[in-house]
Amino acid sequence: MEGKPIILLVEDDLDSASDYKEDIEALIDVTVIAVAPPVDLLDLIALVNELNASAVILDERLQQLSDATYAGIDAFGYLRSAFPRLPVDILTAYPPGLELKGRGLHVENLVRKRDLDEDEEFKRSYLQELYQRIGRYRQRQDERHELMTASDTVTKEFVESLAQLHFEADDGIEQIIWVRSGDEKEICLIEVNRTALPTESIQVFRFAPSEDVPFRIFIADVRPTEWERIQSGDIPLPEGWALEEAQIFRRSEVLPERREDVG
Amino acid sequence: MWANAYLEQARSDWKMRSLMEENSAADCHCLHYLQMATEKLAKAALLRGRAKPEDLRRSHKAFVRFLRSSAKNPSLRQTFGLSARQLQESINGILPIAAEVERLVPGRDQLGPNAEYPWETPSGEVKVPASYAFPVAEELRGPQGRKLLSLISVILDRFDTFF
């Protein structure tokens, strides 16, 4: 990631946001962009993407002066899932209550406004620590997997790259089986996912070719026990699919450990 | 051919759902058409995946599975400008409501609230869909529900781009 890191400060009180922006930029080499909370959480994700933000600071109570459909803790959980490892902290005027702790929020992600406003030493050390987390996040972002550019026909390397993307997207996928259908313009995958819904059969969804994946994709999600039954012939494969030349991509082999938690 | 037929019917069911909403029909009718539209939409996608129509007649359940797979759809990701993980996360948030919509079908394993037939509660009370306050109807008006409805609308409109 190039350029100065951007911290997205989501605060419904824009006056105090402006004060925090000034304070933060005076102490660490970042650009703080203060915004009122978007109405929907999906818009917040889009904003983080759009600005390529390297950290997010959320006010705990986002709904006092805005139309946001969520509180800071809701946004925290959502951002954590959508951007694993993205530094996200919550600014609060209150001591951390049980509700926040019960929702997986660690004390180090909670910043008391009073400490930040009144304790210079705390402010300096908190911001230095945040700056280090930002540095680590940006380094991981640089190592993040991008889908490789496709060639005219399906190659093993491209399917492996696609498999990597799917592993990163869904933690429940244990292995991905690339089934050769004989057509070089399509990719047939069986994804063994411990969170798949049981169907006792193979249901295949087809996705149309797109700009970055210019091939038809056929995907069947199965549970590990169903995969065993497929291998023993108990559950039949779709017509034209055969396991003889199938290639298996396992999470542990395709997704090196350092990438496991990078979104 | 079958996929297009299911898609056409799904779009028609979806239009009926909108008409019901606009005319303030009882929730059960809006939900009934929503359930039918989503089931046929999912089955249209399965038929594009070369499923046989006879295999799809055995169960009404396809929509939740369809949504879960959709997070991996490259064209859909591109449309929303989200990464695979972000689309997955977004879809995960709407799955509980989608599952409730899927459960609205009456059947052997569904003796409780459904959008079509009266049912008896464990305490012996008989409930009528037309006057029943379906919790899912309220959830569909909330942020996650609206997101689900928008997603269905986008997919129905641009099905051929995605599947």
Give the number of domains in chain A.
2
8 Å CB contact of B71 and A42: no
CA distance A119 to chain B (A): 37
- pLDDT range class, residue A243, cuts 50, 70, 90: very high
* Selection from A191, A262, A220, A221 nearest residue B86 by Cα: A262
The answer to whether the CB of A117 falls within 8 A of the CB of A91 is no
Helix (H, G, I), strand (E, B) or coil at B59: coil
8 Å CB contact of A239 and B50: yes
A170 contacts in chain B (CB < 8 Å): 71-72, 84-85, 88
8 Å CB contact of B71 and A217: no
Q: Which of A81, A116, A143 is the last residue of a domain?
A: A143
8 Å CB contact of B49 and A70: no
pLDDT score of B52 more than 90: no
| Tens digit of each residue's pLDDT (9 = 90 or more) over B20-48 | 988 989 999 999 999 999 999 999 999 99
- What is the domain-level CATH number for residue A138? 3.40.50.2300
8 Å CB contact of B93 and A78: yes
Same domain? For A36 and A92 the reply is yes
Q: For the residues A87-91, what does the mean pLDDT come to?
A: 92
Q: Which of A120-129, B3-12, B89-98 has the lowest mean pLDDT?
A: B89-98
The mean pLDDT of chain A is 86
pLDDT for the residue numbered A257:
58
Same domain? For A110 and A162 the reply is no
- pLDDT range class, residue A168, cuts 50, 70, 90: confident
pLDDT for the residue numbered A1:
65
In a domain, residue A112? The reply is yes
Burial of B123 (0-12, 13-18, 19+ CB in 10 A): exposed
- pLDDT range class, residue A102, cuts 50, 70, 90: low
In a domain, residue A151? The reply is no
Same domain? For A10 and A134 the reply is yes
CA distance A23 to chain B (A): 32
pLDDT for the residue numbered A100:
65
Q: Which of A108, A143, A178 is the last residue of a domain?
A: A143
In a domain, residue A165? The reply is yes
pLDDT for the residue numbered A259:
44
Give the domain extent around A230: 156-259
Report CA Rg, chain B.
Answer: 16
pLDDT score of A53 more than 60: yes
B45, B50, B84 member nearest A168 (Cβ)? B84
- pLDDT range class, residue B64, cuts 50, 70, 90: very high
pLDDT score of A33 more than 50: yes
pLDDT for the residue numbered A263:
32
Domain coordinates of chain B in residue numbers?
2-162
Q: Provide CB contacts within 8 A for A247, sequence distance 6+.
A: A156, A159, A177, A178, A180
CB contacts < 8 Å between A and B, how many? 109
Instruction: Please state which of the four CATH numbers 1.10.10, 1.25.40, 1.20.120, 3.30.700 is assigned to the domain occupying B2-162.
Output: 1.20.120
**Which amino acid belongs to residue A45?**
I
pLDDT score of B138 more than 50: yes
Same domain? For A232 and A197 the reply is yes
Distance (Å, whole) CA A207 – CA A46:
24
A199 contacts in chain B (CB < 8 Å): 65
Same domain? For A162 and A61 the reply is no
| Tens digit of each residue's pLDDT (9 = 90 or more) over B108-119 | 665 789 999 999
Q: Which of A99, A116, A143 is the last residue of a domain?
A: A143
The answer to whether the CB of A31 falls within 8 A of the CB of A6 is yes
Angle formed by the axes of helices B84-102 and A156-169, nearest 10°: 60
Look at the block and give the residue holding tokens 């203060």: A34
In a domain, residue A1? The reply is no
Distance (Å, whole) CA A177 – CA A191:
6
Burial of B46 (0-12, 13-18, 19+ CB in 10 A): buried
8 Å CB contact of A206 and B163: yes
In a domain, residue A27? The reply is yes
Same domain? For A105 and A183 the reply is no
